[in-house]
Structure 1
Amino acid sequence: MSIYGPLLTVLLGLFLSCDALKRVCYYGSWTSHLTPEDIDPSLCTHLMFAFSTLDANGTEIIPFESYEPALYLRFTNLKSQNAKLKTMLSLGGWTMGSKLFIELVSSESNMREFASNAITYLRTYNFDGLDIDWEYPAARGSGPEDKANFITLLKIVHNAFVHEAHKEDKPRLLLTAAVGTSEFRVTESYDVHGLSRYLDFINLMMYDFHGQWEDTVNVHSALYSDNDFSIDRFVKYWISEGAPKKKLVIGVPFYGHTFTLADKQQASMGDNSTAGGSMPYYQICQTLTRNDTIHVRLDRERVPYFVYDDQWVGYDDAQSIMEKAQYIRDNGLAGAMVWALDLDDTTGACGDGKFPLMHALKKGLIEGYQVVG
């Protein structure tokens, strides 16, 4: 018996498993420089339209802005160029907060009405599923009972999606959620077993570990760290809490956090800062060309930062993103999620082609990346 048959089977299986890794891309409808038609539909496996909101009763999905429904069909029409692409509608976000979600989960009748209405809304605009971004259950005005109520909501929506698919002989609508990742956030807001049972995959927001709300500079999306927040730390924590690896999608930021140094002669990790903000990658890549910019790559955290004048900026570049992709492959995780597609260099202004970060992520997830050092 030839050894080549089994070997080819193994190699094919490895190829298919890598190719199946999810590339979940959020698209902000408010962006003025990226239309749905500007998106390369081969870059992502799942496209998330962010964000929709709820009516005052919490039972109807409605657009944040009146112009958004006109974008829905242009967005979902990208599937005509990539039959494997899934387009989903994301509900919530930081701006929406908890108030309307509290109304939604205040009774099971509300939740059932919402599920029915959601199916109609999603099918009307040819979406393939719903992503729920409640930031956060049992927080920001939401009571402790909403940790359990959130799982009840997911159960009711999931079951409604299953029932509708069987009744109408259609592919089942997908159900996902974007969630905070720290031990504190999980303890306060999430029943990990419940999330894992009813969600098709879980988008872990693996960024904003640090930011301008602090008075010392630090990177916000470290892959590893000895005694601080990191992707590796939180992945291990979620798995220890019972989350299946194949449902964990790792968030990757296409933006950096900026800090104004208290003393520009002190520009190392942990030095004092007085203010800050955020910077999209399409601005970062242009700033990196300044002659007075100092570039540093952190060996442990596996991310870069740069300094110019009194500004300190931690961010992700193509190399750090490919290293994160390799981490996802090595640990058998479901894939990567990006916030957000429109923050990439969408026009190729920096000379690396259009969507350089997204291309790096795709290459890293499919082909892998050999980490050096």
Structure 2
Amino acid sequence: MKAFFLFFLTLAGIYSAWAAPLFIGYYPDWGKWHKPAYTVDKVPYEKLTHVLWSFITPDTDGSLRGDAADDPSALDEMVALGHAAGTKVIVSLGGGGQSENFVPVASDDALRQKFIANLVQFVADHNLDGLDMDWEWEYNPVPDADTIAYNKLLTELRAALPEGKTLSAALPCSQYYGKFFTPEVLVKNLDWLGFMTYDITGDWDDKAMFDSPLYPHSGYTTWSWEQTHDYWKKRGVPTEKMVFGIPSFGFQFEGATGPGTDFTKGTAKQVPYKDIVANPDWEFFFDSVSVSPYGVSSTGYVTFEDPHSSAVKSRWVKDNGYAGIMVWEVSHDYIEGTGNPILDSIAVVLHNGSTDAIPYARKVRTSQQIRQQNATGKQVDALGKSVKGKPKFIRIFEP
């Protein structure tokens, strides 16, 4: 593991500004409270095409609320560092659990116009390259009036932004919330659509499943990247505007013994990648059907992404002509003195298309090669014992 992480140190600094596929990283403005602190100077700008400051939200009077609105010094430092590396800097609006003021502001013509004017001025004042909408509803069903308000805000914000400034959005990956969005409005007004292909499992599930599977795997997944593409493509979203999200965190379930098993309700929680790999209690495995790493211990199960799965998924994005990859978020896989193993792995693939430079247990394969191996490969269970007619799980690390 140590040698693997050290390898990626040599990758830092070899990337310059590069074009599509997009590589987007969300920066949490609360990173300064982490121990150790994750500040804007630690962001690997040279690996990213875009870094998104998270978050600014609307206040009830249409003004801007958030750390960067109160004290923009760290944001200004990010803009300077990002632009020096050829990376675009964007502010993301809203966020999960922070979107409660969107409805009253966006539903009122005067407040909506005030909010938009404040945003456009903020973009100009801080030399930002665009805005990202992360308005997340916390209730289902969503009233038609809320969808109308979202569409008005998006359309009018697009019209108000100067030419050359981007507008994007973080969006649900499945129909559960996706059905409340209007694809025609999204496609017309957004430079890219960022699908949150994570949090696919959690405490709401009956069984502990995989969190960000590339492909479906019966009994172990409830949704996947492939299904995300199929759903939104059918609704009229072009492939070249689709960005897929890789989580740099995992979901840990107490009481579960692996994917598809029961767990103790109320115990599912997010865990940063850096904490998962630092925990010696986990024994790690890899489901090559869904392209999902996971860990099992005496007390539970964790589903997460790692450099290998992230590289496979990045290869899938590049091979199929999608717009790019976004990562939530850039502090979760940051290891002090080492860097960002997941971000580094994605950058290798998106930057030069090659996976040969990734020193891992198995060479990263194309999606076709993965499917061929699944059809002919030896099947083993989560303990590595041969079985017949059961899903295939492959060890991710040597015992």
TM > 0.5: yes
The question of 1:175 aligning with 2:176 is answered: no
C-alpha deviations, 1:158-213, integer Å up to 9, x for none? 1111xx44xxxxxx3211111111112111x2011210110111111000110133
2:81 is matched with which residue?
Answer: 78
Distance in 1 (CA, whole Å) between partners of 2:65 and 2:146 is 22
C-alpha deviations, 1:98-154, integer Å up to 9, x for none? x310112213333222222211112112211111111129x4696322212211211
Alignment equivalent of 1:335, drawn from 324, 342, 347: 324
Q: Which amino acid in 2 is paired with 1:317? A: D
Distance in 2 (CA, whole Å) between partners of 1:226 and 1:341 is 28
Q: Which amino acid in 1 is paired with 2:262? A: N
Matches within 5 A, 1:1-373: 19-32=19-32, 33-57=37-61, 59-64=62-67, 68-83=71-86, 85-97=87-99, 99-136=100-137, 139=139, 143-161=143-161, 164-165=162-163, 172-187=164-179, 189-227=180-218, 228-261=222-255, 267-274=257-264, 275-287=267-279, 290=280, 292-348=281-337, 353-366=338-351, 367-369=353-355, 370-371=364-365, 373=373
C-alpha deviations, 1:293-328, integer Å up to 9, x for none? 322110211011111121210100111000100110
Kept in 1, the 8 Å contact 2:19–2:49? The answer is: no
Distance in 2 (CA, whole Å) between partners of 1:127 and 1:78 is 12
Gaps of 5+ in 2: 1-17, 356-363, 374-399
- Pair 1:176–1:19, CA change in 2 (3 A): closer
How far 1:19 sits from its partner (Å)? Answer: 4.5
Distance in 2 (CA, whole Å) between partners of 1:296 and 1:95 is 33
- Pair 1:66–1:149, CA change in 2 (3 A): closer
- Pair 1:80–1:48, CA change in 2 (3 A): closer
Kept in 2, the 8 Å contact 1:322–1:368? The answer is: no
Distance in 2 (CA, whole Å) between partners of 1:297 and 1:77 is 40
Q: Which amino acid in 2 is paired with 1:41? A: Y
- Pair 1:346–1:193, CA change in 2 (3 A): farther
Runs of 4+ in 1 over 3 A off after TM superposition: 64-68, 139-142
Kept in 2, the 8 Å contact 1:247–1:334? The answer is: yes
C-alpha deviations, 1:1-45, integer Å up to 9, x for none? xxxxxxxxxxxxxxxxx9521001000010132111122211110
Structure 1, 252-261 or 274-283: larger mean CA deviation: 274-283
Distance in 2 (CA, whole Å) between partners of 1:119 and 1:37 is 26
Kept in 1, the 8 Å contact 2:83–2:89? The answer is: no
Distance in 1 (CA, whole Å) between partners of 2:104 and 2:141 is 12
Kept in 2, the 8 Å contact 1:53–1:64? The answer is: no
Distance in 2 (CA, whole Å) between partners of 1:65 and 1:176 is 19
Kept in 2, the 8 Å contact 1:212–1:257? The answer is: no
Q: Which amino acid in 2 is paired with 1:94? A: G
- Pair 1:195–1:80, CA change in 2 (3 A): closer
1:7 is matched with which residue?
Answer: none
Gaps of 5+ in 1: 1-17, 166-171
Distance in 1 (CA, whole Å) between partners of 2:276 and 2:156 is 43
Distance in 2 (CA, whole Å) between partners of 1:44 and 1:331 is 20
Q: Secondary structure at the match of 2:53?
A: strand
- Aligned residue-pair number: 332
Distance in 2 (CA, whole Å) between partners of 1:346 and 1:202 is 29
Distance in 2 (CA, whole Å) between partners of 1:157 and 1:66 is 18
Across the aligned residues of Structure 1 and Structure 2, the Cα RMSD in angstroms comes to 2.0
Q: Secondary structure at the match of 1:153?
A: helix
Kept in 1, the 8 Å contact 2:248–2:272? The answer is: yes
TM-score (normalised: structure 2): 0.79
Distance in 2 (CA, whole Å) between partners of 1:211 and 1:141 is 20
Q: Secondary structure at the match of 1:27?
A: strand
Kept in 2, the 8 Å contact 1:321–1:361? The answer is: yes
Kept in 2, the 8 Å contact 1:102–1:142? The answer is: no
- Pair 1:223–1:68, CA change in 2 (3 A): farther
Q: Which amino acid in 2 is paired with 1:197? A: K
Q: Which amino acid in 2 is paired with 1:323? A: V
Distance in 2 (CA, whole Å) between partners of 1:141 and 1:56 is 23
